[in-house]
Structure 1
């Protein structure tokens, strides 16, 4: 997506792979600080985001836990949420401070929907969680752009596997779950079957490739044409892509015959769409009988247009998919099972951590400095100067 292209911030790129089995203990010899990134009203992130420092958390009340956030992604949906155009809405927070932003008189929204946290204290009545456990969010918009928060115990899921990196845990609950559920929720695919998708170099697209490979599925992957295709093609093939094509190839009349040769004449029964517009129309025409088209995005901002003949003569079914809805309609047990499955795939390196850049808000920085840094970050993102997943780290101790 347009927010993530080439890095140009002065923030250094970090390549650490801290795992759960090697996590650091919290320092008690340095000054502690609690901070979060908030906004009082919807708008342009470069104008409305503010860093707010708040007091140390009290001990958790019954059935809640205190969390320390380790890493939290900035996803495109987070930008839309701040702008006020995303369907999932956060709730106001009014218990950060006794006065000013975050108080009862000036409630705020705390940014961040996804993240990895570590349990630092457990309230009475909480079962299945203990100090130092790594957890991910089971409720949307919990406000993960924070050093620490108090949350209901039913709003988080414990990570069951050891050996995960922080980057794996931080990016667990949005893109991997979307890819996994789309591959498993609409068509009963068998080893050797084929899946077709556009936006194949997106975060979800790359996960589709990896999960499909693990299942023995073949993928035909469409991406936008560029001057030098080789690095991208090689990257996607290393992840497990069977074929990588461009949207321009969809205009080639010989493509249908090529695909028939690749598949041995087997119908393609699942297509995944995050683009919309004409490329999706052309891709849908490559589907076989009783196929399913699943749309989870509209990067082109163009409407989805499908020939009526595909519905009449090929019995095409078109679906929309939103992981937040899936979470609302499935049980806690099902969600825990999905996280356990994905964690195991990550531990085995079947799913690789996304290429990422860690942007740190230092504990020694004032709120004014932190506000300027976060606004500058979003300005850089809007200009398309990042090519990797951005993971936000708010330091809680000044060394």
Structure 2
């Protein structure tokens, strides 16, 4: 029979994060329950999510108890709750694919993890929108403590998506051009920074808006070489004038007419990678692009890549490089807003919108009262 955490015998060292109950380093929590968001059926998050108390149980030999500290709210999380995402956890379910937590209890046979270690999910549908959970030791991944908590909390999805799309589809070399729409999205901002770090030229397309100067300045401060509105893209001469090499790679998260305009600027034998469809319009490819320009159209889903490469060398190298870029300040989190866990409604209501200045990331903060 599982024992409640309150019955465990442990060593007292010092208190750290609080969330009604105190978590003590090198010891268990002093309470026997945590809190979790749960949905029993698919639907709009604001209607189907409920906050529940959850009993805390002692980890088994090869398990760890994790206290989640921060957990981003991604569009994919919202789509999963709505039942519109291909990856559907069994119901009832706890949402959340990303987050950063702290190990507070380790099982007797756990190696490589200690109390106080920072961890992120090492898989999908881990259910991070809760204060505590028990996981098998291989279900979490240890990360360095010198990485900021916000950056650590969102390392699994947007940075990895941007990294893989830039690495896996076209052999790029310094000076090559990458064009993308959704340049102010969270992934788009990471693409800009990775291009700068790897000496690639980035051209980002954004929607026309009143605050366009502020948005362009922000993206250029991250390293964007050119930021064009959709109307500017239709008449730009930057590729014909040889100011930039024609793009070999295009990244598409919008689809519809926007993607078609981006596609027209691809170099011969270029590749367009689609990883989203925010316009909800189909991706239309002209016959001439396929026959006369030999354009290749591909798709990318980070969830599928992770499942296929869980123990791979490529995945380890990716995390090592991303962590180094974060640590050296060459990769920073997009604009974000921390939301107290108990006030989760604000995060789920706004997660699918894009702020006028830049993609704003909402993050559930389990350390706030």
Instruction: Name the TM-score, length of structure 2 as normaliser.
Output: 0.87
Distance 2:272 2:149 in 1: 34
3-state secondary structure, aligned to 1:260: coil
Task: Please point out which of 248, 261, 278 is paired with 1:282.
Answer: 261
Query: By how many angstroms is 1:24 displaced?
Result: 4.0
1:360 corresponds to which residue? 340
Task: Confirm whether residue 63 of structure 1 aligns to residue 33 of structure 2.
Answer: no
3-state secondary structure, aligned to 2:239: helix
1:306 corresponds to which residue? 285
Task: Confirm whether residue 206 of structure 1 aligns to residue 189 of structure 2.
Answer: yes
Distance 1:242 1:384, change over 3 A: closer
1:130 corresponds to which residue? 114
Query: By how many angstroms is 1:250 displaced?
Result: 2.8
Distance 1:382 1:350, change over 3 A: closer
Query: By how many angstroms is 1:75 displaced?
Result: 0.7
3-state secondary structure, aligned to 1:304: coil
Query: By how many angstroms is 1:341 displaced?
Result: 1.4
Task: Please point out which of 349, 362, 366 is paired with 1:390.
Answer: 362
Deviation track 1:295-321 (CA, whole Å, cap 9, x = no partner) reads 000111110001111111111111000
Distance 1:319 1:246 in 2: 24
1:171 corresponds to which residue? 154
Distance 1:41 1:345 in 2: 40
Determine if contact 1:35/1:394 at 8 Å carries over to the other structure.
no
Instruction: Name the TM-score, length of structure 1 as normaliser.
Output: 0.81
1:79 corresponds to which residue? 78
Distance 1:79 1:209, change over 3 A: same
Distance 2:310 2:30 in 1: 41
Determine if contact 2:38/2:50 at 8 Å carries over to the other structure.
yes
Determine if contact 1:284/1:293 at 8 Å carries over to the other structure.
yes
Distance 2:78 2:109 in 1: 36
Deviation track 1:235-293 (CA, whole Å, cap 9, x = no partner) reads 000000000101112332xx2x33233445x3321000001011111111111111110
**C-alpha RMSD of the superposition:** 2.2
3-state secondary structure, aligned to 2:273: strand
Task: Confirm whether residue 152 of structure 1 aligns to residue 117 of structure 2.
Answer: no
Query: By how many angstroms is 1:136 displaced?
Result: 0.9
3-state secondary structure, aligned to 1:305: coil
Distance 1:231 1:282, change over 3 A: same
Larger mean CA deviation between 119-128 and 80-89 belongs to 119-128
2:41 corresponds to which residue? 41
Distance 2:206 2:139 in 1: 36
1:6 corresponds to which residue? none
Query: By how many angstroms is 1:87 displaced?
Result: 0.8
Query: By how many angstroms is 1:343 displaced?
Result: 1.0
Deviation track 1:155-195 (CA, whole Å, cap 9, x = no partner) reads 11111x34211100100000000000000100111111111
1:52 corresponds to which residue? 52
Query: By how many angstroms is 1:384 displaced?
Result: 7.2
Distance 1:337 1:56, change over 3 A: same
Larger mean CA deviation between 134-143 and 386-395 belongs to 386-395
Q: Tell me the number of residue pairs that the alignment of Structure 1 and Structure 2 aligns.
A: 344
Please list every run of 5 or more consecutive structure 2 residues that lacks an aligned counterpart in the other structure. Answer: 1-14
2:87 corresponds to which residue? 88
Determine if contact 1:162/1:347 at 8 Å carries over to the other structure.
no
2:7 corresponds to which residue? none
Distance 2:129 2:279 in 1: 29
Determine if contact 1:359/1:393 at 8 Å carries over to the other structure.
yes
What are the within-5 Å matches in structure 2 for residues 323-342 of structure 1?
323-333=302-312, 334-342=314-322
Deviation track 1:66-108 (CA, whole Å, cap 9, x = no partner) reads 101010011111111111111111234xxxxxxxxxxxxxxx2
Deviation track 1:206-226 (CA, whole Å, cap 9, x = no partner) reads 000000000000011100011
Determine if contact 1:62/1:123 at 8 Å carries over to the other structure.
yes
Determine if contact 1:35/1:52 at 8 Å carries over to the other structure.
yes
Distance 1:194 1:384 in 2: 25
Query: By how many angstroms is 1:331 displaced?
Result: 4.0
3-state secondary structure, aligned to 1:261: coil
Distance 1:329 1:378, change over 3 A: closer
Distance 2:193 2:232 in 1: 23
Determine if contact 2:74/2:351 at 8 Å carries over to the other structure.
no
Task: Please point out which of 202, 223, 232 is paired with 1:249.
Answer: 232
Of structures 1 and 2, the one scoring higher in RCO (CA 8 A, sep 6+) is 1
Query: By how many angstroms is 1:388 displaced?
Result: 2.3
3-state secondary structure, aligned to 1:319: strand
Distance 1:385 1:311, change over 3 A: closer
Determine if contact 1:167/1:354 at 8 Å carries over to the other structure.
no
